[in-house]
Amino acid sequence: MRTFLLFGSLGWAEILIIAFIILLLFGGKKIPELMKGLGKGVKSFKDGVKDIEAEVKDVEKEVNKDINDDSKK
């Protein structure tokens, strides 16, 4: 049986109970809207992480270039 690190040791029964409670609370019509919003949030988070990684790589290139220029002097 697989366990998710984020959720500890939740089994299929617990996941089904949680899904049923969410269905009761929000209703069938609101769940697609909630999932769409969640998907957009995850996408924007991934885009932000990619932007930060690109900035770190750019700074790393500049630092390496400065170090190489200083060592040549």
**Whole-number Å distance between alpha carbons of 18 and 4:** 15
pLDDT mean across residues, the chain = 84
Q: Could you tell me the pLDDT band of residue 27, with boundaries at 50, 70 and 90? A: confident
Q: Compute CA distances 70 → 9, 58, 73, whole Å.
A: 54, 18, 5
Tokens of 73: 């002097």
Question: 0.75 exceeded by the pTM?
Answer: no
